[in-house]
Chain A
């Protein structure tokens, strides 16, 4: 599996520039803290995975970053509240916030109902498109969550 990832990255670097690749390869990647990021045209849409929303319980409040904020990779950009626990959310990549899902301010439980589509949190213009190469692909992420075994 890791060999395949290496091959994909290798081909992309050889034949395409990162920006060109982003235009043609919509890539959904994952983090070990259960966020997903879907990059298109250099802009990543970020949300929480289904596994994350199950761990949180019913989301009652979402705090999102302001548009135009510049963030570093791994920086805290807001929080999601459930069962009176405010869990910080982090941006997996560096860049500038270009959009937030305002619908969540009215209906935070969209995160529970459609975590990987309508429940997206924010959009970020990546400052370094290659940062997503370090993240987990879908197979690696599935393997991560399956390893809990129950």
Chain B
């Protein structure tokens, strides 16, 4: 509902889009939908994207932990003299690994862990939400490290944004896909999930994110109950396109990870209403921070 704004409004719209400590008593914005008011959309920080190729899961986790810690420090006004990090969208692939969410810590039996390792993958417990899933070749993994408060996003709206981003990618490929409040993720039918979601939020800074099956070998998913959902199956863009035999809307010879990256970046930008730029141009300092930690 529109309310009458005081004359300060002009001042707000001119304000720089860079993060800076807010003066005491300043209004703190918050928004609960992606249908944010125009005044909120006027000043969203841009997001730098980078495709990192194949990255070991533990290296990626350590990187995210350090990125998040540094961002939290910055937002609280610290980190003077150290390069400022910006919002990033990390895009990558992992070698085969099963990961589990924090609510399942210690819950997998030794036998189950043995079974997944015998399949040729690692098993890692994480601090993200969600349950057990698989990451591996052919799956585009995305880790947005964003300060959602600066984007006027509530946690559940951020997650909805991730889902809508992937739904938009599917739309471009001529694939109907949808989200459902009961089961976070992106579905192509009531029992086929094409993308899994699991995030961690510390002081409004996000980490972890999503895994979109592009050409993933779905046999990997048969060793687990994906996301703890019996009777539901993992699918991939390739499998769904083969089923539908439908390329309306765009003509792509391949739906491999690298082909999907530009589609995803574009959809992310339009769903979240942010300018997406290559991280190398937007913030060389952030890119250097990342590359140093992936040595």
CA distance A84 to B130 in the complex (A): 4
State the main secondary structure of chain A at its contact with B.
mixed
As a 0/1 sequence over residues 83 to 100 of chain A, the CB contacts with chain B under 8 angstroms (1 = contact) are 111111010000000000
B129: A residues at CB distance < 8 A? 61, 81-86
Q: Chain A, interface size: which category?
A: 20 to 34
Chain B residue with the shortest CB-CB distance to A140: B25
Size of chain B's interface in residues, with CB distance under 8 A?
A: 36
A61-B103, A84-B101 known; A55+B159 contact, CB < 8 A: no
Contacts A83-B156, A148-B31 supplied; 10 other A-B pairs, CB < 8 Å = A55-B156, A57-B159, A81-B103, A82-B156, A85-B129, A85-B159, A85-B206, A86-B199, A87-B201, A147-B29
A79 to chain B: closest residue by CB: B102
Complex partner residue of B155 from A61, A63, A87, A144, CB under 8 angstroms: A87
Residue of A63, A85, A145 most packed against chain B (CB within 10 A): A85
| Total CB contacts across the A-B interface at under 8 A | 94
> A150 at the A/B interface (Cβ < 8 Å)?
yes
B residues within 8 Å of A by Cβ? 1-3, 5, 27-32, 37, 101-103, 127-130, 154-160, 184-185, 197-204, 206
> Shortest Cβ distance from B224 into chain A, in angstroms?
16
B residues in contact with A79, CB < 8 Å: 102, 127
A54 on the B face (CB < 8 A): yes
20 residue pairs bridging A and B, Cβ less than 8 Å apart = A33-B204, A55-B154, A55-B156, A56-B155, A61-B129, A63-B102, A63-B103, A79-B127, A83-B197, A84-B101, A84-B159, A85-B129, A85-B156, A85-B199, A85-B200, A85-B201, A86-B129, A86-B200, A88-B201, A149-B37
Measured in the bound complex, the distance between the Cα atoms of B25 and A144 in whole Å is 9
A76 close to B (CB within 8 Å): yes
Q: Is A13 an interface residue (CB 8 A)?
A: no
Distance between B4 CB and nearest chain A CB, rounded to angstroms: 10
A8 at the interface (CB under 8 A from B): no
B154 engages A56 (CB within 8 Å) = yes
Encoded as 1 (CB less than 8 Å from any B CB) or 0, chain A from 23 to 60 comes to: 00000000011000000000000000001001111000
List chain A positions with a Cβ less than 8 A from chain B. Answer: 32-33, 51, 54-57, 61, 63, 76, 79, 81-88, 90, 144-145, 147-150
Contact A150 B31 (CB under 8 A): yes
In Å, the complex CA distance between A81 and B156 comes to 10
Which residues of the other chain, A, contact B185 by a CB distance below 8 angstroms?
A: 84
The docked-state distance in angstroms from the alpha carbon of A85 to that of B203 is 13
Residues of chain A contacted by B200 (CB below 8 angstroms): 85-86, 88
Contacts of B27 in A (CB 8 A): 144, 147
Whether the Cβ atoms of B159 and A86 lie closer than 8 Å is no
CB nearest neighbor in B for A88: B202
Within the complex, the shortest CB–CB distance from B229 to chain A, in Å, comes to 12
A54 to B156, CA, bound (A): 9
Distance between Cα atoms of A88 and B31 in the complex (Å): 19
Pair B197/A84 contact, Cβ less than 8 Å = yes
Interface centre among A56, A57, A84, by most chain B C-beta atoms within 10 angstroms, is: A84
Residue of B nearest to A57 (CB): B156
A147 contacts which chain B residues (CB < 8 A)?
27-29
A22 to chain B, nearest CB (A): 26
Q: Which residues on the A side are within 8 Å of B127 (C-beta)?
A: 79, 86
> Would you give the shortest CB distance from A3 to chain B, in whole angstroms?
13
Per the bound structure, the CA–CA distance linking A9 and B199 in Å amounts to: 41
A contact residues around B160 at 8 Å (CB):
83
Q: Choose from A51, A81, A148 the contact partner of B29 (Cβ within 8 Å).
A: A148
Q: Are B28 and A144 in contact (CB under 8 A)?
A: yes
Question: In the bound complex, do residue A85 and residue B3 qualify as a contact, i.e. CB atoms below 8 Å apart?
Answer: no
**Ordered nearest first, which 7 A-B pairs have the shortest CB separation?**
A55-B154, A57-B156, A84-B130, A147-B27, A86-B129, A85-B199, A84-B129
